[in-house]
Amino acid sequence: MICAIVWGETDAFGNFNNSLAMNGTGIVDHDVFLPGAILAAPTTSRCRAPRPTARSTGPRPPRSRSLSQPPAARRPPGRIVGPTSPLDATVADVSSEFNDSFAATNAIDDSGTSEWSSAGDGDDAFVTIDLGTSREIAGVEFITRSMLDGTAVTETLIVTVDDGATLGPFPAGTPAEPNFAAIETTGRTFRFDVDTSTGGNVGAVEIRILAS
């Protein structure tokens, strides 16, 4: 089926997200990322799902329900480094981009509705992020993109800091399971190389670098 979640901190909702894996068609396993909903402190949000269509079976969902955010959001406290932060991070280099709609900057825009896609780079895909200044880093998250045919999934990645220390391999994450990789280091440029993948137009929905 096709899914969508409308959510927010009040019954006014105000946010809408669906599964990027749908790619315009119905799927079985739904993995919906709610950007901005991962908070350092416990919180409660409201959400609702659209009513089933005439062809749907099973009970109707309630109009709305509460979602409680657990105290620990699977990673230690830290600030996500991205273009909206004072560090003014940029993409310094990238192996390739499928087209302008799948630019590498989509991977650092703090949005779960856009993504970077390479032009078929597979295990040779990489992207380098420049933080603008050297910072102490607590860890990273690489949220892989994926295609319905099973391709474009990054399985593991390697991180190179300032063209020096090579760290990893680390498992890539999904919107539901970011797979925070603890990295205690200091640096300005971080190159993310795909180590293993299912091939094809690999890339990332989001790449997060968390400052200490």
For 201-210, how does the pLDDT look when each residue is reduced to its tens digit (9 = 90+)?
A: 999 999 999 8
pTM greater than 0.85 (yes/no) = no
Return d(Cα 14, Cα 9) in angstroms, integer: 9
State pLDDT tens for residues 98-155: 999 999 999 998 888 899 999 999 999 999 999 988 998 989 999 999 999 999 999 9
Average pLDDT over residues 167-176: 92
**Minimum mean pLDDT range among 2-11, 100-109, 143-152, 190-199:** 2-11
How far is Cα 79 from Cα 93, in angstroms, rounded to an integer?
Answer: 23
Cβ within 8 Å of residue 72, ≥6 positions away: none
Residue type, 58: G
Distances (CA, A) of 207 to 43, 50, 54, 178: 24, 30, 39, 10
Q: Token pair of 55, please?
A: 């062809």
**Given this structure, which CATH class describes domain 79-211?**
mainly beta
Asked if the bond preceding 71 is cis, omega within 30° of 0, the reply is no
* Residue-range domain boundaries for the chain: 1-73, 79-211
**Distance between CA atoms of 190 and 198, rounded to whole angstroms?**
23
- Count how many residues are written for the chain: 212
